[in-house]
Amino acid sequence: MLTVHGMSNSGNCYKVKLALEQLALPYRWIEVDVTGGETRTPTFLAKNPNGKVPTLELDDGGFLPESNAILHYLAEGTPLLPGGRLERARVLQWMFFEQYSHEPYIAVARFIAKFLPPESPRRADLAGLVERGHQALGVMERQLAQEPFLAGGAYSIADIALFAYTHCAADGGFDLGRYRAVRDWLDRVRAQPRFVAMSA
């Protein structure tokens, strides 16, 4: 059985949980104490030398890190990943967008605003992160005003990847009021079969 080494309130880990649930795959979940430093221990670094969750433990005892690589592994051959070469590249386009242009602003703003103490000096970064995060939301809005899902007509792991931190963007100080297409898309994702919410 697959085992997820993850942290329940991480959007990157929630991506993997949502895909596993929607694919009806059995799995175990081992909660990792990231804030307590567990991902920097030799035991964890032997699983993932980059010291990050989620890390998927495979049936053969191997490990696969990187949330979006895990999504791709789980979804290949299922309706969550289209079969055509260009269609797959479109899914990956949005997943790389997520990791480079979205997560470093929207997820990091959430982390600072929600999990760091009020006196943290990193709160000075919030204004810049929110500005860049709105750029990412604007790019999503433009796409979702034209198509029901990010990679086109069908729900895919690109939607799972971007739902993870978009649906809780308010935690980082983002007002989604001006992004009507994004909000409608969030509702479409929530309406997908076997959808499960992220842990608070």
Residues at the contact surface with a second copy, assessed by CB under 8 A: 49-50, 52, 58, 62, 64-70, 72-73, 76-77, 85-86, 88-90, 92-93, 95-97, 99-101, 103-104, 138-139, 142-143
- Smallest distance from the beta carbon of 132 to a second copy, in angstroms? 12
State which residue, 37 or 49, has the beta carbon closest to a second copy.
49
**Distance (Å, whole) CA 159 – CA 189:** 7
In the chain, count H helices and then E strands: 8, 4
For residue 153, give the DSSP letter: S
- Smallest distance from the beta carbon of 103 to a second copy, in angstroms? 8
- Adjacency order of strands within the sheet including 2-6: 27-31, 2-6, 55-57, 63-65
State which residue, 40 or 194, has the beta carbon closest to a second copy.
40
- Smallest distance from the beta carbon of 191 to a second copy, in angstroms? 26
- Smallest distance from the beta carbon of 95 to a second copy, in angstroms? 8
3-state helix, strand and coil shares in percent for the chain, rounded to the nearest 5: 55, 10, 35
State which residue, 72 or 167, has the beta carbon closest to a second copy.
72
State which residue, 17 or 52, has the beta carbon closest to a second copy.
52
- Cα angle vertex 107, ends 105, 113, to 5°? 95
